[in-house]
A and B are shown apart, each in its own frame.
Chain A
């Protein structure tokens, strides 16, 4: 059957050609979902810093929390399937995947720290203490992850830049 010439049938994704954008996006999704899960497991279940329900939470905060939590569960499963598909078709680009993963981790953490904690006031990192140092630590760590992800993304782009198929 087909030997040298790659079969070109319309629609289906190419095989064995690295797909940097897709690798980055899939791992950003996995990173964000994983950080949300870690956030929940560490702060709710292990440290008990967060309450299961906070009476001061406004309705919109409660809704966003429920939506985010559900999205986290679905994104973890979807991310797994997308990753498996990248592996199967041989189009995973590891440098971009690493960059995307860090971008996802940091992006979610910063989103949580600014939108959830400060704008919507769904919950705070801790209760009954001055939260300022905690906020700086949480958002700072998120920013660091995000920056590290950005640096890796630039490096990955330089390394594989020029359109050459990764060996």
Chain B
């Protein structure tokens, strides 16, 4: 393998990619089992969550095991869009923490998990601007310093970079969507503005990559341009999905505010529509 063609992570970071794919598939299996047990004991757990989480795991495993489309840089970007952006949205929509807390029996394990979820460091990590900074900062570092070039030759560094991108993507998505119970419920304004800032940072990075490759790498022009556009428009789709999560939350909450609790909808309509 020549250094120039080490673009696909399935090739360069073999060990990490395989174990990450295996972990993703295992997570899907554990999730399905937990949801099944929840339903069997009579709890309601919407099927969409199962579907979303399973799709996220499959997307992750697919991206880890199979080489991406196009040239090496395009493949790198496709990998990035799937593992750090699309898959995290699907996973977070499955509300994995809520499911775990509900599945665990009351006891030390559940208390411990809850304590971790509400601990000070986690509270700081899921503060949306901090999560965004970790995510976008890592992305800028990777593409605007010789880090990407260095990672091509060092499997361990490459694995660390990939792990960071995946973890930071998950953290950012988690903190913006805020579907699972953690300590502080940041308002829609904080999360919306964070999404706006992070989206802008992502779009600007994609645009600069169109013209200038990451330092120390030598990608072909066409490959670079295709990869940058994939990053830009792929980012749009994910941003749209995140904005939709916030919009649905706002719409639902407002609906509750309009309709007094315990009062059936039909009564409100007939009272107001006369």
Q: Which residues of A come within 8 Å of B, CB atoms?
A: 1-3, 6-7, 9, 11-13, 15-16, 52-53, 55, 62-63, 65-67, 69-71, 73-74, 76-78, 80-81, 84-85, 88-90
Docked pose: A9 CA to B247 CA in angstroms: 24
Q: List 14 A-B contacts (CB under 8 A).
A: A1-B271, A7-B260, A7-B271, A13-B258, A55-B211, A65-B203, A66-B199, A66-B203, A66-B207, A69-B200, A70-B195, A70-B202, A74-B192, A74-B195
A1 x B267 contact (CB < 8 A): yes
- How far in angstroms is the closest Cβ of chain B from A109? 21
A67 x B200 contact (CB < 8 A): yes
- How far in angstroms is the closest Cβ of chain A from B203? 4
Q: Which A residues are CB-close (under 8 A) to B272?
A: 6, 15-16, 90
Docked pose: A85 CA to B255 CA in angstroms: 8
CB-based nearest B residue for A81: B247
* B263 located at the interface, meaning its Cβ lies under 8 Å from any Cβ of chain A in the complex: yes
CB contacts under 8 Å to A, within B225-258, are: 225, 228-229, 232, 236, 239-240, 243-244, 246-248, 250-251, 254-255, 257-258
Q: Which B residues are CB-close (under 8 A) to A6?
A: 271-272
A2 x B271 contact (CB < 8 A): yes
Known: A73-B240, A78-B247, A85-B254. A16 touches B229 (CB 8 A): no
List the 9 closest pairs (A to B, CB-CB), nearest first: A70-B199, A81-B247, A66-B203, A77-B243, A66-B204, A53-B210, A66-B200, A67-B200, A12-B257
CB-based nearest A residue for B258: A12
- How far in angstroms is the closest Cβ of chain A from B253? 11
B243 x A84 contact (CB < 8 A): no
A78 x B243 contact (CB < 8 A): yes
Pick from A3, A52, A62, A74: contact of B229, CB below 8 A: A52
- Most central of A3, A9, A52, A84 by chain B CB within 10 Å: A52
Additional A-B contact list (13), CB under 8 Å, known A81-B250, A89-B258: A12-B257, A12-B258, A15-B258, A16-B273, A52-B228, A53-B207, A63-B200, A65-B204, A66-B204, A69-B236, A74-B196, A80-B247, A85-B251
Report B182-215 CB contacts with A as 1/0, cut-off 8 Å.
0000000000100110011111100110110000
- How far in angstroms is the closest Cβ of chain B from A112? 16
Pick from A1, A65, A73: contact of B243, CB below 8 A: A73
- How far in angstroms is the closest Cβ of chain B from A81? 4
CB-based nearest B residue for A69: B203
B199 x A62 contact (CB < 8 A): no
Q: Which B residues are CB-close (under 8 A) to A76?
A: 240
A63 x B204 contact (CB < 8 A): yes
* B30 located at the interface, meaning its Cβ lies under 8 Å from any Cβ of chain A in the complex: no
Q: Which A residues are CB-close (under 8 A) to B268?
A: 15
A84 x B207 contact (CB < 8 A): no
Q: Which A residues are CB-close (under 8 A) to B258?
A: 12-13, 15, 88-89
B247 x A52 contact (CB < 8 A): no
Q: Which A residues are CB-close (under 8 A) to B267?
A: 1-2
Docked pose: A76 CA to B246 CA in angstroms: 13
Q: Which A residues are CB-close (under 8 A) to B208?
A: 53, 62
Docked pose: A77 CA to B188 CA in angstroms: 14
Known: A16-B272, A66-B200. A73 touches B207 (CB 8 A): no
